[in-house]
Each structure stands twice: as C-alpha cells, then as structure tokens.
C-alpha cells in the first residue's frame, strides 16, 4: 500500500520526494497504468506517491519577452485551448491537441510526458523543437538539462530519485507562423505515434528546426536536415530533399530494421509535408 501526499509548496514536495521509495504523481496517465500492472502482478508499489498537481509554481507559463518558460504541470488540454500558446508556440499547442483523448489531455502534463521518457511522446518532440531545457529541482538545488540529454534510452532518464522537473526554459523559433506538428498513428485520435514530426521554419531559413520522434530512443533534432535547409532555396525540391535526408538519418542511426520498409517512405513524406505546410503558413502571412 502506498501513502499519498499532496504538498502545497515545491519545498514540501522536494522533502517528500527525498524519502526512499517516493514517486512523483502528476497527471497519472502513465503512472496509474504501471501501478495497476504492479498490483495485478503482486509487484512492489511505491512507498509514497507525491501528487505535484497542486503546486502553483509548476503551472506558470511565460511566452513573452526573452525568458520564455513552460511549467511542468501544464496540461495538454490547457495548452491545446490556450490562445496564447496557440499564438506563440503553435507547434506545442498542435502536439498537445493530438495527445490521447480529451480525458487524457485533461490530466496529462508536459512534465510527466518527459519524465516518463516514452520515445513516442508527442509533447516531447514539440519541446525539443522549442529547444527546451528542463529545470530540475531536488533538495540539493536546481540543475538545468537540455531535453536531448535527459532521456537516455526508452523510458529511462537521468532524473535521480528525489528530483522533480519544475518546468522548461524554452527558446521559441523567431516566427511562430512557421511551426507545424504532424503525427502518424493507427487512427486519427487516441493513437500512440508511430512517427511524429515537429518542424519550424522562418522566412530567412536561419533557424530551421526539424525534430523526428517515435524513431529513436527519444525525439531528436535532425541537424543534418536543418543544415541542408539553411543552405537551400525554399521550395518543393528542398522539402523533398530534406525528407530524403531525414529518412537516411533514420537508417544511419537505427539500421535497416523490418519496420524501415514502412518508416523510410513515411519519414520522407511526413518531413516534406511538415516543411511544405510550415512554409505555406509563412507565405500566407507575409
């Protein structure tokens, strides 16, 4: 049997999390499933569940000015419905709108999405495109870690016991109009991504960001594809070449697995499509 604690402040939460066997509970959409599994198998349960969803500090959202910040407790439903998020970080708002069902979006948070470390996490791909750096607290203090370094393997992170993600310092791309998130799943709604793509362009192609998720241990920026875009001339040929480069990036990293027959053309097209849309949005508003 687990004990349950609902701390009112971050300090109180960190104290609780420092106890052996303590576990962070946020939206619960992943953790409650693993607890269910553990109970069915008679496996050990966490000593203490620390519900962080009532900490006001972790639902802060700051999208104007030089220091943009997203609290780890922000839910997908909030981000989907927030006009400010839609305007300033549409890639994240779009990703949020495609996570699970309305019920899952209501409770699922961008903190839990990252801490759970699923390679298919939609929120994670969008956050990587926003160059998110996690702000992680423990009783020892606060450390900062880029998301690309936080996830080490599927469902494994560098988060130590006692640590809590407070939020993310983000650097949104210069032009929010050029942001697109796409995913491929077994059905349109309530589907785990087989592939996802967060793509951001600006009119000068100075800071393109192309993130492919659900293909690697964790979503990653395709720096070679970004370099190709920077040196190219915007248009269908460039988007297609970028798509092909993305697919070869995938096979270079993962080898030619059985799923590659499907994934290679799918990666090529999802990349080209995301870039085409991002550019069309930029042109539509210029």
Q: Which residues bind other proteins (CB under 8 A)?
A: 1-4, 6, 25, 27-29, 32-33, 35-36, 39, 45, 48-49, 51, 53, 77, 100-104, 106-107, 188-190
Smallest distance from other proteins to CB 214, Å: 18
Nearer to other proteins, 2 or 171 (CB): 2
Smallest distance from other proteins to CB 36, Å: 6
Smallest distance from other proteins to CB 33, Å: 5
Angle (CA) 131 136 139, round 5°? 165
Rounded to an integer, what distance in angstroms lies between the CA atom of residue 216 and that of residue 220?
A: 7
The sign of the CA dihedral 259, 260, 265, 270 is positive
- DSSP assignment of 224-268 equals HHHHHHHTS-SSHHHHHHHHHHHHHHHHHHH-S-TTHHHHHHHHH
3-state SS string for 146-161: EHHHHEEECCEECCCC
Smallest distance from other proteins to CB 48, Å: 7
Nearer to other proteins, 103 or 206 (CB): 103
Q: Which residue has the tokens 């305007």?
A: 87
Rounded to an integer, what distance in angstroms lies between the CA atom of residue 8 and that of residue 240?
A: 51
Nearer to other proteins, 18 or 190 (CB): 190
C-beta of residue 106 within 8 angstroms of C-beta of residue 78:
no
Smallest distance from other proteins to CB 157, Å: 21
Q: Which residues contact 262 (CB under 8 A, 6 or more apart)?
A: none
Nearer to other proteins, 1 or 83 (CB): 1
Smallest distance from other proteins to CB 50, Å: 10
C-beta of residue 180 within 8 angstroms of C-beta of residue 270:
no
Nearer to other proteins, 107 or 148 (CB): 107
Nearer to other proteins, 5 or 132 (CB): 5
């Amino acid at each position: 049997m687990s004990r349950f604690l609902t701390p009112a402040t971050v300090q109180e939460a960190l104290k609780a999390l420092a106890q052996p066997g303590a576990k962070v509970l946020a939206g619960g959409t992943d953790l409650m499933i693993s607890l269910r599994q553990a109970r069915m198998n008679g496996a050990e349960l966490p000593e203490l569940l620390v519900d962080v969803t009532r900490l006001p500090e972790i639902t802060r959202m700051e999208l104007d000015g030089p220091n943009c910040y997203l609290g780890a407790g922000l839910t997908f439903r909030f981000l989907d419905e927030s006009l400010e998020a839609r305007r300033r970080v549409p890639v994240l708002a779009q990703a949020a709108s495609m996570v699970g069902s309305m019920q899952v979006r209501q409770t699922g948070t961008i903190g839990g999405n990252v801490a759970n470390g699923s390679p298919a996490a939609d929120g994670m791909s969008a956050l990587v495109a926003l160059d998110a750096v996690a702000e992680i607290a423990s009783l020892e203090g606060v450390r900062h870690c880029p998301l690309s370094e936080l996830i080490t393997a599927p469902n494994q992170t560098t988060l130590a016991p006692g640590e809590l993600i407070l939020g993310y310092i983000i650097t949104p791309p210069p032009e929010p109009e050029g942001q697109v998130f796409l995913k491929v799943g077994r059905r349109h709604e309530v589907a785990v991504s087989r592939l996802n793509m967060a793509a951001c362009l600006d009119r000068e192609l100075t800071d393109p960001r192309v993130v492919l998720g659900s293909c690697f241990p964790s979503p990653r920026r395709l720096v070679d594809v970004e370099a190709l875009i920077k040196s190219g001339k915007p248009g269908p040929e460039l988007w297609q070449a970028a798509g092909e480069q993305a697919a070869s990036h995938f096979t270079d990293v993962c080898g030619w697995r059985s799923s590659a027959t499907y994934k290679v053309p799918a990666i090529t097209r999802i990349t080209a499509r995301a870039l085409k849309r991002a550019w069309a949005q930029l042109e539509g508003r210029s």
